[in-house]
Amino acid sequence: MRYFQSKIFIIFFILLLILACSHRTSRSASVSRVQHKPALELMKYTIQAGAFKKVENAARLTETLKDHGLEATYFVAPDKLFKIRFGNFPTKEKARQRAQSLKEAGVIEEFYIVQPEDYSVARRKQYGTNYLREALVKSTQDFIGVPYLWGGASSDNGFDCSGLTMTVYQLNGLNLPRNSKRQFDVGTPVDSISDLQRGDLVFFSARWKYGVSHVGIYIGSGQFIHASSRGKKIRIDSLSTAYFTKHYIGGKTYL
């Protein structure tokens, strides 16, 4: 009888160990699933140049800087002039040296070095994440009315969809990738439309088998801003419209 009881005790003990290990493994897997992907790289020192009334001129300088091997984008400043930011340098001195060489070569005229503390993201600790979300939305709203162009800037002027989202995030200090597929890959999934928050990105696919084909910035109340299609301007649309409901594949957050 004792032998039989001992056997039962041993089996029971082994089952407890298995269950405990299973629980730890399951919990670790669960934690792993909900952990956010690595945060976006913060922008460092960036060069700002130009002040154009016409977007065509800003687009032209942007393309010239790209020909010099620099990642460049233009944006609508609070004074309603189009300005250009380019590069992401580790130190202020490196940024200044590069800007000075471009000035001496006649590529740019006056310039300004944007420092890490100048970005909205640098004030998130003080004012909270909602402050940063509002800054993203405000930057996006400034682009409403700017023409769309697939592929980015040219003499026809405008932004493609992922160029807009990249620019908005970089203006606020977050180095979002250029391509919409990469933007989708690095974001943390938002479970449902009702969980979206201002400043999150929303993604669409014209055909599921081809993956991500379009992206916009969510601004709340079921609406988003995006560069819609060639020949049109950056505008506000609703996620509840038949087309976007059909092609919506998910939202991502980066904050």
- List residues with catalytic annotation: 161, 214, 226
Q: CB neighbours of 100 closer than 8 A, spacing ≥ 6? A: none
Q: Kindly state the helix (H) or strand (E) to which residue 188 belongs, with its residue range.
A: strand 188-190
Beta bridge partners of 250: 203
What burial class does residue 243 get, using C-beta atoms within 10 Å of its C-beta: 0-12 exposed, 13-18 middle, 19+ buried? exposed
What burial class does residue 19 get, using C-beta atoms within 10 Å of its C-beta: 0-12 exposed, 13-18 middle, 19+ buried? exposed
Residue 251 · residue 193 · CB < 8 Å: yes
User: Could you tell me the two tokens for 61?
Assistant: 């300088």
Distance from C-alpha of 172 to C-alpha of 174, rounded to nearest angstrom: 6
Q: Is 182 helix (H, G, I), strand (E, B) or coil?
A: helix
Residue 196 · residue 188 · CB < 8 Å: no
Q: Is 84 helix (H, G, I), strand (E, B) or coil?
A: strand
Written as one letter, the residue type at 254 is Y
Instruction: Measure Cα distances from 209 to 160, 202, 206, 238, 247 in Å.
Output: 21, 18, 9, 24, 12
